[in-house]
Amino acid sequence: MKFLHISDLHFHKFSSDNLEMERRLKYIQKNYPSHHLIVTGDIVDDGHAEQYVNAFKALKPFLGKIYICPGNHDFGAAGNFFSAERAARFDAMLAVPLQQGGTFRGDMTPVVNIVKDEHDTVMLIALDTNLETEHPFDFACGEVGESQLAYLKTILASPAAAGMVKIVFFHHHPFMHKNPFMELRDGRQLMRALYARVDLVLFGHKHVAEKWENMNGIQYVLAANNAYSNDFAREIVVTGGELTVSFVPII
Ligand SMILES: [Fe+2]
Ligand SMILES: [Fe+2]
């Protein structure tokens, strides 16, 4: 089973600002027709309705094989100012029409999808790491929250999850500590919950691609760069429970 991980698409209101991102999505559609696509947030730039319309139009061809989570820019202006109205659009204009099998805003439960082929069953767990605060000093920080963390632990400990390859993905960098502008405040608690219990962790936010192997008891921890101006994305191949990771062109 093959996956592509992209992040931080930052769809804008005017079509002319989205051409580079649209070219990349068309390339992915044409060249990786059977890959599952995982998008780790900041899908739009400010949470405006027009941006969501543009993003949905570009992502609709991946219906049935796309898995998303929200980033700080999806829920607020400049990524810093959380707005309940803009957050609601993520569910109404992307998560529901892209058939995510769950919504993100408010209930704070992970969104779980299972994909299978003849060799593997993969559990995809999407988290909402947005800090739902209106205080400007919180900037672009994130939080998993106690409730979502508790649900995550229950899912990972469930007998149904045993034997599946487990991929957890979210937007905020989980161990960029001491950055008061961008940190995931409970990143330590999240990484503790994931320790040796999942196979792959994916995120974005920092717009820098990074890779950690066999870290925190996890086969791969991968950060994606921003897809709208980068020419490569990570491909993850799952075969008989084994993962291989490489960069592939997206333009
Ligand atoms: Fe971003
Ligand atoms: Fe972000």
Say what percent of the chain tops pLDDT 90. 88
Query: What confidence tier does 108 reach under pLDDT thresholds 50, 70, 90?
Result: confident
CA of 21 to the centre of ligand 1 (A): 13
DSSP summary character for residue 216? T
Q: Closest Cα partner for 8 from 38, 48, 53, 49? A: 38
Residue 230 identity: N
- Token look-up 């309705």 returns 49
Between the CA of 233 and the centroid of ligand 2 the distance, in Å, is: 17
CA 246, CA 248: separation in Å to the nearest integer? 6
- Give the pTM: 0.97
Q: What residues have their beta carbon closer than 5 A to ion ligand 1?
A: 8, 42
Q: Ligand 2: distance of its center to the CA of 235 in Å?
A: 21
pLDDT tier, 178 (very low <50, low <70, confident <90, very high otherwise):
confident
Domain boundaries, the chain: 2-249
CATH superfamily of 2-249: Metallo-dependent phosphatases (3.60.21.10)
Amino acid sitting at position 56:
F
Considering every ligand atom shown, identify the ligand nearest to the alpha carbon of residue 79 and give its number: 2
- Compute the distance from residue 154 Cα to the ligand 1 centre, in Å: 30
135-144 residue pLDDT tens: 767 678 899 9
Smallest-distance ligand from the CA of 172: 2
Distance in Å, CA 99 to ligand 1 centroid? 23
Q: Are 83 and 46 in contact (CB under 8 A)?
A: no
Residue 141 has a pLDDT of: 86
Please report which confidence band the pLDDT of residue 34 belongs to, taking 50, 70 and 90 as the band edges: very high
* pLDDT for 35 beyond 90: yes
Q: Strands 111-116 and 81-82: what pairing? A: unpaired
pLDDT band at 133 (very low <50, low <70, confident <90, very high): confident
Listing DSSP states for 108-144 in one string gives: ---EEEEEE-SS-EEEEEE---B-----GGGTT-B--
